[in-house]
Structure 1
Amino acid sequence: MEESGVQLLCFELCGEKFAFNLDYLVEIVRIQAGEITPWYSPVPIIRGKWNYRGQTLCVIDMREFFGLETPAVTRMQEAGTYDLEQERGTKSILVVMIQNRLFGMLTDRVLQMQPLIQYYEYPALISTLPRRYFAGISMREAELVLLLAIEDFVRDYEWETLSQELTASVESSLASVA
């Protein structure tokens, strides 16, 4: 990611700051958590489906995948007292275009759009997650912001699998209605 002329969309998830190149953003939509249908896809970063203007989009939820669930939430889940709907409430979904396909990206809060001023390579040993998800690190108001490489979130072979799963899911829904 080059610094010159790049605009970032900064957002927050579980108190952590993230950003990506604004060129990938299509729209920001406020929704209720109940509008997302939980769906455990074969692609680990996809955790739901959502109806966007009559089209079913896969929802990228980085909480569990990036290990952002808090220990308190994990304890409540184990005790059976955790209410996902209440915890998540109203959220922002970032409709993004990844490799000419629309996806919804779940966030807690959109912070701002800002130019990329400082850019640092993503350190190789900072995470156990595949490096493909991160473009680097930047700063926002004296805080570190992880720059996401969302163009690499879903690869072509993963999209083929997702597409087949979505088609099968729609067909089974139609069959149960008939």
Structure 2
Amino acid sequence: MNQYVLFKLEDESYGIEIEYVKTIEKISNITRVPNTKPYVKGVINLRGEVIPVIDLRERFGLPIRDYNNDTRVVIVSIQDYIIGLIVDSSSEVIYLNDNEVDNPPVVGEVNTVEFIKGIGKKDGKLIMLLNLKKVL
């Protein structure tokens, strides 16, 4: 059984394994960094630590929209990297058993969504489970 932190982009639910999530913060001042990809919004200062932040909406090719009171930065840590992921909102932590997770859809030899490592099914909802290594 695995635990996932859920968040929303558009009307879709996404999940990240809880062991990668350090904290979830409200959106704060972001300092731009020149010559980065458009989805890299810059860096934030989180309790004295400078952390790069990426906008997952832009990373996934979703329409850009203004940040609001629900916008959150999910701070993740993977392989000695600490990165903030800007999401529309963060909702809850859930448990998923292995039998509640399907493989991502495959078309031919290529995964249709390279960032997705599985699809969770819980209470009639589908949850896209992120492959953080591919996202980052």
Q: How does the TM-score come out when normalised to structure 1?
A: 0.64
CA distance in 2 between counterparts of 1:138 and 1:52 reads 31
2:134 is equivalent to residue 152 of structure 1: yes
Partner letter of residue 43 of structure 2?
K
2:3 is equivalent to residue 11 of structure 1: no
Shift of 1:140: 3.4
**Which is higher, the Rg of structure 1 or of structure 2?**
1
Partner of 1:41: 36
In the alignment, which of 81, 86, 101 is matched to residue 119 of structure 1? 101
Q: Percent identity?
A: 26
2:13 is equivalent to residue 31 of structure 1: no
Partner of 1:89: 68
5+ residue gaps in structure 1? Answer: 74-83, 155-178
What is the aligned-residue RMSD (CA, Å)? Answer: 2.2
Equivalent residues of 2:30, 2:41 under 8 A apart: no
Deviations 1:125-155 (A, max 9, x none): 373x5x2x2211112331211100113333x
3-state secondary structure, aligned to 2:103? coil
Equivalent residues of 2:57, 2:87 under 8 A apart: no
CA distance in 2 between counterparts of 1:122 and 1:30 reads 30
Partner of 1:158: none
Shift of 1:60: 2.1
Q: How does the TM-score come out when normalised to structure 2?
A: 0.81
In the alignment, which of 52, 55, 64 is matched to residue 46 of structure 2? 52
CA distance in 2 between counterparts of 1:45 and 1:97 reads 18
Give every structure 1 segment of 4 or more consecutive aligned residues whose post-TM-superposition deviation is greater than 6 Å. Answer: none
Equivalent residues of 2:15, 2:127 under 8 A apart: yes
CA distance in 2 between counterparts of 1:140 and 1:60 reads 28
5+ residue gaps in structure 2? Answer: none
Deviations 1:106-142 (A, max 9, x none): 1111111111131100112373x5x2x2211112331
3-state secondary structure, aligned to 1:63? helix
Partner letter of residue 93 of structure 1?
V
Partner letter of residue 50 of structure 1?
I
Shift of 1:46: 2.9
The 3 A distance-change label for structure 1 pair 14 and 57 is same
CA distance in 2 between counterparts of 1:93 and 1:134 reads 19
The number of aligned residues is: 129
Partner letter of residue 65 of structure 1?
R
Correspondences of 1:62-81 after superposition (within 5 Å): 62-69=56-63
CA distance in 1 between counterparts of 2:122 and 2:41 reads 28
